[in-house]
Structure 1
Amino acid sequence: MNSSLWRNREFTLLWTSQCLSDLGGAIALLAIPLLVLDVTGSAVQAGAVGTAAQATKLLCRLPAGVLADRVNRRQAMLACDIVRLLAFAGLAVAVALDRPALAAIIVVAVIDAVCGSLFNTTEHASLRSIVPATQLPDAVARNEARSYGTSLAGPPLGGLLFGIAHALPFLGNAVSYLASLIGVALIRKPLQTARPADPPSHTKALVEGIRFVFGNAFLRAVLLIAAPLNFALYGAIFTIIVTLQSHDVAPGVIGLTETIVSAGGLIGALAAPALLRRLSFPALIRGLGWAATLFLTVSALLTMSVAAAVPVALAILVGPACNAALFGYQAAITPDHLQGRVLSVIFLVAMSAAAAAPLLAGVFVTVWTPTVSVLLFAAAVSASALTATFSPAIRTMRPIEQSVPA
C-alpha cells in the first residue's frame, strides 16, 4: 500500500484502534448467540437476538447519517465507544456472576447495533478529513483488509474464549472499545469542516442527503452496482451452506466455506492498491463485475461440494478493489457536510438487499435447485456489470484529483 498513507498519523491511529475494535466485535458476534443458547437452550431465541440487532442497524442507518453530518464526529465516536464499553463490561460481569438474563443480552445487542451504526457511519464520513483525496481509494482498501482480517480471526477466537470462560469474549470486546476510545481521542485533526450555526431540521437534512445521492449520476450508479453485488454474494454463500447442510456435510466442513470466502476477501483487499495503480477506475469496475459474474456461474456447477466456495471466494477477491474505487471516489466527490448522509443511504440500500438474500435463497432452493439459485444470483451480479459497462457516470470517471469539489 502507499507508504505515505502508513505515515499518516491520524489515519493510522484510527485504523489500528478499529482493528482491535472490529476484532472484539467479531468475537462478540459469535459469543452472543452462544450465550443465548446457553441461557435459554433455544436456537430460535438465539436467532431472534441476531435478527433484532440487524433490524436495529437498518433502522438506525439514515438517522446515523444525519447525526454524522450534524454533530462533532470525534465526540460522537468517543460517546459510542464509552457506551459500548460500559454495556459489554456490564454483560461480562453478569456472565461471570452467572446471572445473564435474556433481556439484558438483548439490550446489550441493541445498544451495540445503535452505537455501531453511528460509529461506522461517522468513521467513514471522517475519512476525507484525515486522508488526502488521491489516497482515499488506498484508505478504503486498507479498511477492507481490516474488515476481512478481523472477520477471519474473530469467530474462532470468540469460540475459544467462550470455551475457556463464558465472560471472556464480552470482556475482550469491552477492552477493544477501550482501545478504540484511546485511538480516537489521540487524533489531533478535526474530523469535519465547520458547520452552520443554524442547521436544518433532521427531516430536511435527511431529504437533502437523499436528493444529493439520487441527483448525482455517479452515486446512482454506485447504488445500482453495490446493491445487486451484495445481494448476490450473500445469497450464493447462503445457498451453498444450506445445500451442504441438507446433504449432511459435517459442520466443520461447512464452516470451512465461510473461511475460504473470507480468505478470498482478505487477499483481495491486500491486492486492491496494486490493482488500483495499474487500472483505471472504469476498467477496474467493469472487469470486476464481469469476473464476479463468471465466478458465480462456475460456483453454480459445484453446489454439492465445499469446492463451490472457491469460485465465490474468487468473486469476493475482486470485490475490495471495486469497493475501494467506488467508495474512494464517492468520498472525494461528496462535500464533507454531506458525507454521513450519502454513506447512510448507500449502506442502507446495500444492507437491505443483502438482508433479503438468505430468504430468497431459501425460496430458490426449495422451488428449484441449488444450481438454479446460484445462477439467479450470478444474473444479479451481471446487472452490476452491465451498469458498470454502460453507465455514462462510470465510463466518464475522471482522476480523483480532478473531481474533488472546491
Structure 2
Amino acid sequence: MDRWNRRRILLVSEIVAGLALATVPAAMWLGILTITQLVVVAFTQGLCFVFFGLAERAALPMIVPAAQVPAAVAQNEARSRGAALAGPPLGGLLFGLGRALPFLADAVSLAIGAIGLLFIRSDLQKRTSAPAEPLWRSAAAGLRWVWRHPLIRTAIVLIAVSNLVFQALILILVVLAQRQHATSATIGVMLGIYSGGGLIGALAASRLHRHVTPRAVIIGVNWIWAALLPLFTIAASPLQIGVIGAACAFIGPLWNVVIATYATVLVPNELLGRVTSAAMTLSWGVMPLASLGAGYLLAALGPTGAVWVLTAVMFIAAITATASPAVRRAPPLAAHDTSS
C-alpha cells in the first residue's frame, strides 16, 4: 500500500474481483461449474477485499480534510454495515430468480465501482522516494510503529479481544437460541435484529463521536460490553437475545470510528498502509481461534457457561483499558485535527 500506486491497487482489486465473479455464470451456462472453481473465486474475492480495504483506508486522509476524517470513517462504517445487512437477503432473492444473477450483479457492481474510481482526481499518496530496504523489512516497519506507540498498541489489543469475544459469541448465541427451541427462521430474525443494532449505531456514530471524548469511548464501550454480556444468560427468548445483541452492536461503530480516526490522524501517511495491515493481521487473526474456542467452550460448559467465560474476558479488557496510562492520557481528536 505504501510502495505501489494506491489508485492502481484499488482499480486492479475491483477489476480482478469482478472478472473472477463473472467466470461463475459463464461456467454455469457452459455446464462446467465445479466446487474447485467456486473456492478459487472465493479466495480471489478475499484477496482483493484485503488489498482494496487497505488501499482505501490509506487513501482516505489524502482525499478528506483532517477535520472531516471522523465523519468520513463513520459514513464508511455505516456503508459497510448496511451492505452486510442487506447483502445476504438480496443475494438470496437474486438466487431465487436465477442462480447466475447474484454473481452477475456483483460483477456489475464491481465494474461500476472501478468506473467511479476513475473520477477521483486527488493524489492518493504522498510522494516519497522508493525505499531501498527489502519488502519484508519495509512491511515490518508497520509492526514496529504499532509497538512504539502505546495508545495504538493498546487499542489494537483491545480490538483483538473484542473481536475474539464477539466472533465466539455468535455461535454461542445460536446454540443458546436452539436450546430455547428456536426455529431456523427465528434464529435468522434474531441475528437480523443483532446486525440492525450495528447499522443504527453506525448511522448514529457520525454525530455521537463529537459529544464524547476518545478516552471515554475506549474505556466506556468495554465496560458497557462487560455489563451487557451477562444479560444473555437470563434472556427468555431469541427475541430478547437479539435485542441484547443489538445493544452490543450499537456501540461498536462508535468504538471503530474513534480508533480508525486515531490511526488515520496519528500515523504518517507513508506508513499508514503498513500500520493498518499490521493492525488487521493482529485484530482479525484471532477470529478463527475464536470460532474454535467457542466450540470447545460449548462442549465443556454449555452456552450459559461459555457466555460467562466471555464476560470474564471482556471484564479483564475493561480493567485493562481503564488502567492503561496511554488510554487515560488519550488526547482529543480535535487537537490532532487542528495540528494537521
- Give the distance between the partners of 1:97 and 1:277, measured in 2 at CA: 55
Residue 318 of structure 2 is aligned to residue 400 of structure 1: no
Aligned twin of 1:290: 223
Range 223-232 or range 294-303, more displaced: 294-303
SS at match of 1:189: coil
1:98-137 aligned within 5 A:
98-137=31-70
8 Å contact from structure 1 (residues 388, 394) kept in 2 = yes
TM-score, reference length from structure 1: 0.80
SS at match of 2:114: helix
- Give the distance between the partners of 2:136 and 2:103, measured in 1 at CA: 36
- Give the distance between the partners of 2:206 and 2:93, measured in 1 at CA: 34
1:18-97 aligned within 5 A:
68-97=1-30
Change (3 A) 1:369 1:306: farther
1:247 Cα offset (Å): 5.5
Residue 151 of structure 2 is aligned to residue 208 of structure 1: no
**1:336 aligned to which of 251, 269, 285:** 269
**1:274 aligned to which of 198, 204, 207:** 207
Change (3 A) 1:199 1:126: farther
SS at match of 1:228: helix
1:134 Cα offset (Å): 2.4
Aligned twin of 2:322: 389
**1:241 aligned to which of 166, 174, 184:** 174
1:248 Cα offset (Å): 4.7
8 Å contact from structure 1 (residues 232, 380) kept in 2 = yes
1:374 Cα offset (Å): 1.1
Residue 228 of structure 2 is aligned to residue 302 of structure 1: no
1:357 Cα offset (Å): 1.5
Change (3 A) 1:175 1:222: same
**1:180 aligned to which of 100, 107, 113:** 113
Q: Which amino acid aligns with 1:268?
A: G
Change (3 A) 1:134 1:198: same
Aligned twin of 2:157: 224
Residue 185 of structure 2 is aligned to residue 252 of structure 1: yes
1:116 Cα offset (Å): 1.1
Deviations 1:193-223 (A, max 9, x none): 0121344211111221110011110111111
- Give the distance between the partners of 2:241 and 2:227, measured in 1 at CA: 13
8 Å contact from structure 1 (residues 96, 166) kept in 2 = no
8 Å contact from structure 1 (residues 228, 383) kept in 2 = no
Change (3 A) 1:294 1:346: same
1:73 Cα offset (Å): 0.2
SS at match of 1:69: coil
- Give the distance between the partners of 1:146 and 1:331, measured in 2 at CA: 18
SS at match of 2:2: helix
8 Å contact from structure 1 (residues 292, 316) kept in 2 = no
1:306 Cα offset (Å): 4.1
Deviations 1:257-283 (A, max 9, x none): 221111000011111122211111111
1:347 Cα offset (Å): 1.0
1:291 Cα offset (Å): 0.9
| Aligned-pair Cα RMSD in Å | 1.7
- Give the distance between the partners of 1:107 and 1:189, measured in 2 at CA: 34
- Give the distance between the partners of 1:294 and 1:336, measured in 2 at CA: 37
Deviations 1:327-359 (A, max 9, x none): 101110000011111111111111122222122
**1:360 aligned to which of 286, 290, 293:** 293
Identity of aligned residues (%): 36
1:303 Cα offset (Å): 7.5
Aligned twin of 2:253: 320
Corresponding pairs, count: 339
SS at match of 1:71: coil
Residue 309 of structure 2 is aligned to residue 376 of structure 1: yes
SS at match of 2:209: helix
Gaps (5+ residues) in structure 2?
none
8 Å contact from structure 1 (residues 226, 384) kept in 2 = no
Deviations 1:87-115 (A, max 9, x none): 11121211233321122111111111111
- Give the distance between the partners of 2:246 and 2:164, measured in 1 at CA: 15
- Give the distance between the partners of 2:309 and 2:68, measured in 1 at CA: 36
8 Å contact from structure 1 (residues 240, 303) kept in 2 = no
Change (3 A) 1:134 1:389: farther
- Give the distance between the partners of 1:375 and 1:225, measured in 2 at CA: 19
Aligned twin of 2:74: 141
8 Å contact from structure 2 (residues 187, 238) kept in 1 = no
SS at match of 2:169: helix
1:246 Cα offset (Å): 5.4
8 Å contact from structure 1 (residues 303, 370) kept in 2 = no
Q: Which amino acid aligns with 2:155?
A: V
Deviations 1:216-261 (A, max 9, x none): 1011111121011111112112101133345552111111122111
